[in-house]
Amino acid sequence: RKEVEQDPGPFNVPEGATVAFNCTYSNSASQSFFWYRQDCRKEPKLLMSVYSSGNEDGRFTAQLNRASQYISLLIRDSKLSDSATYLCVVNGGSNYKLTFGKGTLLTVNP
């Protein structure tokens, strides 16, 4: 299993749609989990951290299932401005290195 594996995408959805991204990780000792967002020709930026209890930030909900080593990101009521690549990111467990998934491209269409 690859260290961090994401849906390959791309996803094309209409405005207002709900879209879900999935991610699996291989290192069971991983302790920290994140979703980063990368706009076209820009640098990645933290979207949200992912906690065991699940967490929500407006239209965005992140979930973590440690038993299945699975992370998800749900975007409700998609906006045109949500168009970007979404990166699943996992801390290696014993150090402060982050491992990035390859990303999933989302395009929200009018």
Partner 1 sequence: DVKVTQSSRYLVKRTGEKVFLECVQDMDHENMFWYRQDPGLGLRLIYFSYDVKMKEKGDIPEGYSVSREKKERFSLILESASTNQTSMYLCASSLLAHHGTDTQYFGPGTRLTVL
Beta strand spans in 1-110 (E): 4-6, 11-14, 19-25, 33-38, 44-50, 55-57, 60-65, 70-75, 84-91, 98-100, 104-109
CB of 82 to partner 1, least distance (A): 20
CB of 15 to partner 1, least distance (A): 27
CB of 65 to partner 1, least distance (A): 19
Q: Tell me, what amino acid is at 106?
A: L
104 binds partner 1 (CB under 8 A): no
Interface mask toward partner 1 for 29-48; x: CB under 8 A? --xx-x-------xxxxx--
